[in-house]
Structure 1
Amino acid sequence: MRVGTHVLAGVFVLVAILVPDRLDRFTLQGFFRLPVEALFLAILLLVLPARARRVAAVAAGSLIGLSTVLKCLDMGFYQTLARPFDLVFDWVLLTDAADWVKDSFGHAGEVLAVIGAIVLLIAVLVLSALTMVRLSNMMARHRAVAVRTTLVLGVVWITCFTMGVQFAGVPVATNGYSQFLANRVQYVREGLGDADVFRKQLAVDAYAKTPSGQLLTGLRGKDVLFTFIESYGRVAIDNPAMAPEIDKTLTEGNARLKSAGFAAQSGWLRSPVTGAGSWLAHSTFLSGLWIKNQQRYRTLTTGDHATLTKYFQKTGAWRTVGIVPGVRKAWPEGKYFGLDHIYDSTHLGYQGPYFSWTPVPDQFSLEAFQKLEHGKKNRDPIMAEIILASSHNPWSPIAHIIDWKDLGNGKIFYKIKKEGTNPTEVWKSAQRVRTEYRKAIQYSLDSLTQWMQRYGDDNTVLVFLGDHQPVPTVTGGTANKDVPVTIVARDPKILQRVSGWGWTDGLKPADNAPEWAMDQFRNRFLKAFGPQS
């Protein structure tokens, strides 16, 4: 019994050291390797006196336990955000994850998930520490055998490492755990130094001293709508499993707009995030700065660096409003972004059901904007930031287009929701997730193009874009962060202003259309629609 326990303890430590931090790197042969870190740990425990050995065993066990937890977090972040967990900036996102679980699986699911995570964390740390203490005691009792075994394995590791010996294509000798820890330390160092880097970037604004009378002169008298479509990424257009249906939607939308006298041009923007973190993408697009983490976002929104929306406000020529159905609590950042009035999920007149995370279906949000602002008579020009949230993860259930006259107060969506899919069933299959994602994007695009056809006029200018690519379950793990961006207008002078951008005619950007980092858009837009020389 004792021998079996010792064996299990050794296996536990080896697995904890060898386990990768990404699910797509899990292979059976990956666990049949010899980690140099285990050998160094054995040497350390053999040379230390009894008391120091116990302390070292507990410390090493705790480190292995914590790194195992960190690897698990990395797995989750790679699956949702296509990047590892950031030890400096990402703690706030854990509360967002809990909110997502609650919206997707209810309050009970959230409670169970949080309790399960806490219990698992404690269990891993305690088990790791106890395991290392047990192994260190065993090595002390059988010191001679432990020394010989360590020496033999050390020679084996050196030989395999020098000669590049592999098992099923995987190197037998590895120092991957040390590299993992070193990378994490480097990430933390870079994170801690990022604040100083960003402060220097924050101080630079090419338009900060531009008189208000010289700002956005090419758009005076126009209603300008900046519309973000949640998770509308390049994968929707490029992926063969989704491209035909999305292409059909874009073609029909383009024809719909043309019939109403509108023209469009499209390109690509590279988002700072993937899978989630929409607010980071929105603030990158509007501020002209690369907002890649929560610290940068907080620094930005507590400062005075002007956003694109704030420059509209500065001119005094527009009433600036926000349609933000995803906001369900206080949003003080709205003042920073230069919005005169904000309509959140509780101020759009919607009395229908949530669709998982999404509080208000896109079609209703756009109709509410029409009733509350755009459709008013004798009003000033409007600049609106509009967030379309129906294509937010988990894409189940989703709404579908109905007659605009039937929207009412939104209660009709109760029936539509009952007809929708169940997220717990959808997420059992990556193929079904992609299908529902594609339908959600189609719904958002149809809602927007139908609204433009129905309510747009000669003075309507629409800029719409995706905020980021969807989760890797949909993208297949691609590192590409491109999102489509489109400008729509009836007045030909508007598109003439951006003719030098090289964008593609229509709603679908060509594969070789220009790709800009998302933070470049603000200044290009201000230049294009400023005074012409």
Structure 2
Amino acid sequence: MPVFTRLRQLPDPTDPVSGDPSPEAGPASAPEPAAPGARNAPRAWPAALRDRHPGTVRAARWTVTALAAALVLGALLLPNTSAALRPNRFTRVPVEAIIGAAVLLALPRRRPRQAVAALAGLALGAMTILNLLDMGFTDYLGRAFNPVLDWELLDDAQSYVRDSMGGAVAAGAAVGVVVLVLLVLGLMALATVRLGNLLDRNRRTATRATLVAAVVWVLCSGLGLELMGMPVASDRTATALRIEVRRVRDTLRDEAAFGKEARSDAFGNTPGSQLVPDLRGKDMIFTFVESYGRSAIEDPITAPGVDRTLDARTTALAKAGFHARSGWLTSATYGGSSWLGHSTTLSGLWIDNQQRYRTVMAGDHLSLTKAFRKTGAWDTVGIMPGVQKAWPEAKFYGLDKVRNAFQLGYRGPKFSWSTMPDQYALEAFQRLEHGRKRDKPLMSEIILTSSHQPWAPVPKMVGWDRLGDGSVFDAIQKAGTKPSDIITSPDRSRAEYGKSIQYSVTALTQWLERYGDDDTVLVFLGDHQPIARVSGEHASRDVPVSIVAKDPRVLDRIRSWGWTDGLRPAHDAPVWKMSSFRDRFLTAYGSTPHPKEG
């Protein structure tokens, strides 16, 4: 072949297609062949962009890398409570980053390194999601998320949002949560892969930097050095992982241990004739007031109004011949999961999680309400305006009949989550059950829901003879505060919460004035404290409990308890665990223990 011909076949350094590859592409990259007849076609857009704006491309790359590093470091240092979200939490050196860099540098091949980096990113993303769940559960329920038991509560959370804010908001929130989870997992995996590739391209420098970081971490840890009040050496993610593993292990162990505990019962073999003999002939009413906690009586914002209401209602009841004594119970739950408080009070067992609740509901442990049914001397009924689906728990509670939200005749508006105002539910109870002639006295379990978060709008009292089918509440509901108006304001939420407790207590005690008689005995209490946004970050789990009756012998039976006279318990009144109430109550009113072994 002539020399001239051979020279023509050499690449033209000025040709944008056949010229030397961009320095940014590295020695391994090769130019793409031009299509036939398109020798002078422009280079593909990424390469062209690199050629025309190399500084911009380089800055973008380093920006993305910096964001990836910030995302990974932030996830490694992220606390699991919103109260701990402070700048000093993110000024530490995470040992997990050092170990991760060392592992990636030790892998000799590209594909295994990228696979390990992606898996590490997914694991870190999962830990981030657990930390976010811990934040939410701590703010609302006063405890961390349990990865074994609490997934089913997410469905309850969606139902709460739907009932409080509407179906569109609930659907949007559900979609948002799914998108957030996918973004966290995907971005974390991409970030760790990118950082792994950066380590490989700069292996020598990265190795030296990793060794230096390891030495610095060990020295800071050994010397206990702090920056902005926090240790410089951090093992936050490793510690969180150990806690999660321990939580799972303890949950699995607790399931077996609690099963045996639930099968034991101090009154399990007591015959009906020896249960609550000192209350025979009394109409017994056990009422739970939603979110009625110690904060309602002692918080600076809510207490003035609630205390005035309790004192005024104590005086009004006394004029009607009723007297009360009140104390404190420490609830098994906080901020929500009301059924745990109900079941703990009535079973005498400490039921603070879903697994324990399922275990008790499936067994034959004697509930306080079932004790009345076992005597054969009472009819039993449940008034459950918050129940909107099948409720098999009625069997455990020993209720002959349950009236749910759809069986009380209500035709008025919902008040956020609450299906109907407490005043209407109580009037329906009177009309459908308590006011009917019967051969036996009545034992009732009533759940009042108007004080359920988000406490907007709050119902107002109307004339008892105006209640009708509940339509009278239309104007009150429309004129009330909207949840969106208060949900971001702790102070407004606390104020509206206090109003809701005032309303519920007023409705209940006015009902007692109106319909109670010499043989009516009312036991009412809160199921749990309101959420931390209202009760405070370090609030107790205490709730008020009161027993009200006309017959002085009823209150004489609990004189030794040391409770406060009236509806407002003193600050230093006795505090018992909620699980102790059943046995104390049964004993006070003459029940004879006949233990059943587990």
Please classify the TM superposition score into its range, dividing by the shorter chain length: over 0.9
Q: Is the 8 A contact 1:231 1:275 kept in 2?
A: yes
- 1:378 is displaced (CA, Å) by 4.4
Q: Show the 5 A alignment for 1:11-160.
A: 11-50=70-109, 51-160=111-220
2: CA distance between counterparts of 1:406 and 1:464?
A: 26
1:336-358 per-position Cα deviation (integer Å, ceiling 9, x unaligned): 21001111111111110110100
Which letter does structure 2 place at the counterpart of 1:80?
Answer: Y
1:93-143 per-position Cα deviation (integer Å, ceiling 9, x unaligned): 000110111112211111111111111111111111111111111111111
Q: Which residue of 2 aligns with 1:334?
A: 394
Q: 454, 457, 467: which one pairs with 2:517? A: 457
Q: 375, 379, 382: which one pairs with 1:319? A: 379
Structure 1 pair 325/519, CA: closer, same or farther in 2 (3 Å)?
A: same
Q: Which residue of 1 aligns with 2:583?
A: 523
Which letter does structure 2 place at the counterpart of 1:494?
Answer: V
- 1:48 is displaced (CA, Å) by 2.1
Q: 403, 427, 446: which one pairs with 2:463? A: 403
2: CA distance between counterparts of 1:242 and 1:378?
A: 41
Q: Which residue of 2 aligns with 1:166?
A: 226
| Unmatched 5+ stretches in structure 2 | 1-59, 594-598
2: CA distance between counterparts of 1:6 and 1:94?
A: 35
Q: Is the 8 A contact 2:274 2:592 kept in 1?
A: no
1:226-252 per-position Cα deviation (integer Å, ceiling 9, x unaligned): 000000000111111111111100000
1:386-424 per-position Cα deviation (integer Å, ceiling 9, x unaligned): 001000011101101111111111001111101100100
- Worse-superposed segment, 158-167 or 107-116: 158-167
- Worse-superposed segment, 376-385 or 390-399: 376-385
Structure 1 runs of 4+ with >3 Å offset: none
1: CA distance between counterparts of 2:362 and 2:522?
A: 28
2: CA distance between counterparts of 1:128 and 1:176?
A: 17
Which letter does structure 2 place at the counterpart of 1:75?
Answer: M
Question: Are 1:513 and 2:573 matched, yes or no?
Answer: yes
Question: Are 1:373 and 2:423 matched, yes or no?
Answer: no
2: CA distance between counterparts of 1:73 and 1:419?
A: 35
Which letter does structure 2 place at the counterpart of 1:18?
Answer: L
- Worse-superposed segment, 46-55 or 316-325: 46-55
- 1:531 is displaced (CA, Å) by 5.4
Q: Percent identity?
A: 52
Which letter does structure 2 place at the counterpart of 1:10?
Answer: A
2: CA distance between counterparts of 1:422 and 1:3?
A: 47
- 1:376 is displaced (CA, Å) by 1.6
Question: Are 1:306 and 2:366 matched, yes or no?
Answer: yes
- Worse-superposed segment, 100-109 or 313-322: 100-109
- 1:179 is displaced (CA, Å) by 1.1
Question: Are 1:466 and 2:526 matched, yes or no?
Answer: yes
Q: Is the 8 A contact 1:82 1:479 kept in 2?
A: no
Provide the alpha-carbon RMSD of the alignment: 1.2
Q: Is the 8 A contact 1:352 1:414 kept in 2?
A: yes
1: CA distance between counterparts of 2:227 and 2:200?
A: 32
- 1:464 is displaced (CA, Å) by 0.2
Structure 1 pair 378/133, CA: closer, same or farther in 2 (3 Å)?
A: closer
1: CA distance between counterparts of 2:531 and 2:71?
A: 31
2: CA distance between counterparts of 1:77 and 1:213?
A: 44
Q: Is the 8 A contact 2:345 2:578 kept in 1?
A: yes
Q: Which residue of 1 aligns with 2:328?
A: 268
2: CA distance between counterparts of 1:498 and 1:166?
A: 55
> If the length of structure 2 is used for normalisation, what is the TM-score?
0.88
2:546 counterpart SS class: strand
2:80 counterpart SS class: coil
1:462-507 per-position Cα deviation (integer Å, ceiling 9, x unaligned): 0000000000000111241000000001001101111111111111
- 1:178 is displaced (CA, Å) by 1.2
Q: Is the 8 A contact 1:87 1:188 kept in 2?
A: yes
Which letter does structure 1 place at the counterpart of 2:245?
Answer: V
1:181-233 per-position Cα deviation (integer Å, ceiling 9, x unaligned): 11111111111111101111111111111111111100000000000000000
1: CA distance between counterparts of 2:272 and 2:91?
A: 67
Which letter does structure 1 place at the counterpart of 2:196?
Answer: S
Q: Is the 8 A contact 2:275 2:592 kept in 1?
A: no
- 1:62 is displaced (CA, Å) by 0.7
> If the length of structure 1 is used for normalisation, what is the TM-score?
0.98
Q: Which residue of 2 aligns with 1:224?
A: 284
- 1:7 is displaced (CA, Å) by 1.6
2: CA distance between counterparts of 1:509 and 1:29?
A: 42
Q: Is the 8 A contact 1:228 1:464 kept in 2?
A: yes
2: CA distance between counterparts of 1:138 and 1:201?
A: 56
1: CA distance between counterparts of 2:267 and 2:458?
A: 41
- 1:379 is displaced (CA, Å) by 4.0
Q: Is the 8 A contact 1:464 1:487 kept in 2?
A: yes
| Unmatched 5+ stretches in structure 1 | none
1:287-342 per-position Cα deviation (integer Å, ceiling 9, x unaligned): 11111111111111111111111111010100000000000111111122100111
2: CA distance between counterparts of 1:25 and 1:517?
A: 29
Q: Is the 8 A contact 2:295 2:539 kept in 1?
A: no
2: CA distance between counterparts of 1:110 and 1:89?
A: 22
